[in-house]
Amino acid sequence: MSTVTSAGTGTGTGSRPGTPRAVVTGLGITAPNGLGTEAYWDAVRVGKSGIGRITRFDPSQYPARLAGEVPGFTASEHLPSRLMAQTDHMTRLALVATDWALADAGVVPADLPAYSMGVVTASSSGGFEFGQGELQKLWAEGSQYVSAYQSFAWFYAVNSGQISIRNGMKGPSGVVVSDQAGGLDALAQARRQIRKGTSLVVSGSVDASICPWGWVAQLAGGRLATGDDPDSAYVPFDAAAAGHVPGEGGAILIMEDEAAARERGATVYGDIAGYGSTFDPAPGSGRPPGLRKAIELALNDAGLVAADIDVVFADAAAVPELDRAEAEALNAVFGPRGVPVTAPKTMTGRLYSGAAPLDVATAFLAMREGLVPATVNVEPDPAHQLDLITGQPRVLPVRNALVLARGHGGFNSAVVASAL
């Protein structure tokens, strides 16, 4: 097995001969430029963006007014009425994405043992819109008007809970909270559960915090783009980069033990072959950021070397110092312009914990078609020395894709998605 090593600390799950392989058999996508997997893929392969002026509330009084909103989603068309009163918009999107992912995988949960199925998702904020509504009732009308569902509808673990209840999944379940990195961390936790004997795990993430309360929280981070032109506001690795545009949505993936999936004749997109995570040192420590180490851990875990990676799906923060740090990490591992890099999230906005699972799903779709979506609207800064795919998608056979994600506060995660 080929490996890469470097000094430092971090965590990888480790490739162990004879352990069950965790394969992806189903995808469910709710994205700002496409509701459903094929609608999303049709959009990104031609560079169609879903970023625009916010419609879920009036943004005129805020310094940032653009977002990626999921179009044409009417929850009552997909979910029973009893769920409407007890779920946030985020959870409704996640439940529908799960339904679609299970259908794509050809899985009927009722036909499987309840304790053989688990749920591991990620969240960055929980059900902010639901929480805002209940707080407004508390302040304006009194505590007797606050819904009892507030006790859990806002909670960052609510998507895992509602998915497991709706589908009768009683196996190992949980939630990961590490901002944008959490989406990859959840997939790694799901893989770990499959290696420990769980047959099927619903994983990935859907986030949605486009409401005044959530918007103020995001503005407080100081990283939102304030431009009003959807085509120029979010431009990572561009000299004009000045923050990101947020979005809602993400992807739910069905992960299974390969032997079980093959036995039932499932179609397999590929597997989660490698994973690594690190945490950045304290500011002012003089130590380098941890992203490079996370990449190396993921490659090592997958038993690959840098030359085996066909494309990188970048974190793409669009904050100059963060873009520079990501470019430096990629150059250190792959060499200047050493690997094609793309950031399809310029068409959706950063979906927080939903962003990286969507990138992983996009990587599998790219493997299926041999076509990598472009990073739209970006004029790459030559100083970054990246082979950034811009303008048009690139015809490119993909067997191994590296997906990167960083969370606010220092989280770094990397996943290698591979075709079988």
Residues 364 and 342: their CA atoms lie apart, in Å, by 14
Other beta carbons within 10 Å of 42: 13
pLDDT tens digit sequence for 151-164: 888 898 999 999 99
Query: Which parts of the chain register pLDDT below 70?
Result: 1-18
Residues 57 and 402: their CA atoms lie apart, in Å, by 36
pLDDT tens digit sequence for 12-65: 444 455 688 999 999 999 999 999 999 999 999 999 999 999 999 999 999 999
CA separation, residue 1 to residues 18, 308, 381 (Å): 14, 13, 36
Q: Which of 203, 211, 156 is nearest to 358 (CA)?
A: 203
Which pLDDT score is estimated for 3? 28
Residues 15 and 287: their CA atoms lie apart, in Å, by 28
Q: How many residues does the chain have?
A: 420
Residue 213: Cβ-neighbour burial (10 angstroms; 0-12, 13-18, 19+): middle
Is 28 within 8 Å of 255 (Cβ atoms)? no
Which pLDDT score is estimated for 134? 83
Structure pTM?
A: 0.94
Which pLDDT score is estimated for 131? 87
Which pLDDT score is estimated for 232? 97
Which pLDDT score is estimated for 151? 85
Which pLDDT score is estimated for 16? 55
Residues 272 and 258: their CA atoms lie apart, in Å, by 11
Q: Which two structure tokens, joined as six digits, stand for 338?
A: 């050493």
pLDDT tens digit sequence for 376-398: 999 999 999 999 999 999 999 99
Backbone angles phi, psi at 218, to 5 degrees: -70, -40
Q: Which of 305, 308, 329 is nearest to 317 (CA)?
A: 329
Which pLDDT score is estimated for 1? 26
Percent of the chain with pLDDT over 70: 96
Which pLDDT score is estimated for 17? 58
Q: What is the DSSP letter of 196?
A: T
Residue 370: Cβ-neighbour burial (10 angstroms; 0-12, 13-18, 19+): exposed
